Structure 1
């Protein structure tokens, strides 16, 4: 039987009363403890759980972010990619929501990343999370530091250090295929040096504890950068069929057959 508060929160979320929905769930924790709340969260639709978590981050804390399990959280956060928000709104919201849960305790980051990297869309979501820092992340992958002269405050500022060209992409891919680039670029700093509760600490844990997933993330970032580079040199877009799929002209399609 569905817990009554699940139906109540669902109705409140539909009405746009997110804060009131969160209050209903907090009352469960206050009355029955954290485990009672976790059980209720298990009954909630991931989209409803996400609607609440999106409203809270480390600066506006909620008990939901403190007790949600890695599985519950990942089920919900993966829906972020489906909303189609403008990137300038999507990325900060995604990063804030993820940080509030991943960095709630020192162990939480690895727990969330383990669950996330097991999902098909997990690497793509992480690439979204690291948007604005792709070049710094590649420096970390291939040189062990985010910058040659590492500066915490400077590294945290959204920016690009430089644009990787096609020749550099080929060199990096060859290194990955050789299987030794990552071995040569282990983190050159401790976790405490990058313990920002944000993207750098996430990158450190991912590189240190999930090397295979970290390599897949770097490949995904390289692929995105290459597509951006290619698009910048295309004078005009091709006529499109499905979104992101170039439409083949009818005469070419027939000749191919």
Structure 2
């Protein structure tokens, strides 16, 4: 399949609400043609489509998309996550934890990419909202209370 067809297939699965199918399709692509082929497709997908896949994926399992997504791609997806108005921020925390803290990731690189985007600071505040008292304590004392 050529790149355009791969992108269209992925987008049509996402548009139809078949997020599991889209993730499976992308995983099959990586298995058959390698990570580089998957990255070519991911680079062409709009952030909202990448968000759809990583947002709905079961974070208890490793996802090839979560393992390969770049800080810039992820930052754009995180910023538009706010549009879902998830008051519990469950999806945001799951996405952040599964991508930023993956084995080969540099968390600072991801956090900088998010913070550098318009709306990124708000996304970070949402992510840390449950830990706000600990963050304030750290700002005052320089240590985290345990």
Regarding TM over 0.5, the answer is yes
Q: Distance in 2 between matches of 1:133 and 1:57?
A: 23
> How many residue pairs are counted as aligned between the two chains?
145
Q: What does 1:7-26 align with in structure 2 at a 5 Å threshold?
A: 7-26=8-27
RMSD: 1.7
Shift, 1:44, TM fit: 0.6
Q: Distance in 2 between matches of 1:106 and 1:68?
A: 12
Q: Distance in 1 between matches of 2:119 and 2:75?
A: 10
Q: Distance in 1 between matches of 2:96 and 2:42?
A: 17
Corresponding residue for 1:137? 135
Deviates more, 1:56-65 or 1:12-21: 56-65
With structure 1 as the length reference, what TM-score do the two structures score? 0.53
| Contact 1:12-1:20 at 8 Å conserved across structures | yes
* Alpha-carbon distance change, 118 to 105 in structure 1, aligned in 2, over 3 angstroms: same
Corresponding residue for 2:96? 98
Q: What does 1:210-225 align with in structure 2 at a 5 Å threshold?
A: none
Gaps in structure 1 of 5+ consecutive residues: 151-257
Shift, 1:4, TM fit: 0.9
Gaps in structure 2 of 5+ consecutive residues: none
Shift, 1:41, TM fit: 0.2
With structure 2 as the length reference, what TM-score do the two structures score? 0.91
Larger RCO (CA under 8 A, 6+ residues apart): 2
| Contact 2:30-2:37 at 8 Å conserved across structures | yes
